[in-house]
Amino acid sequence: MAKVIGAEWMIEDPRFMKGEDRLKHRQEFNQIIEEYL
């Protein structure tokens, strides 16, 4: 999804690399995604 929305930097961000990491930082992840949409 990061590539599709133009947020490639998220791929290398340790907060979002794995599903469990994204869950830990879900609020921040969702906020960033919403800004790109």
Q: Domain range spanning residue 20?
A: 2-36
Task: Report the number of distinct structural domains present in the chain.
Answer: 1
Q: What is the pLDDT of residue 2?
A: 86
Contact 15, 21 (CB under 8 A): yes
CA atoms within 13 A on the CB side of 1: 11
Q: What is the pLDDT of residue 15?
A: 95
pLDDT per residue over 2-21, tens digit each? 899 999 999 999 999 999 99
pLDDT of residue 34 exceeding 90, the answer is yes
Kindly state the tokens that stand for 7: 């947020």
Q: What is the pLDDT of residue 19?
A: 92
Q: Which residue has the higher pLDDT, 26 or 37?
A: 26
What is the pTM for the complete model shown?
0.69
pLDDT of residue 1 exceeding 90, the answer is no
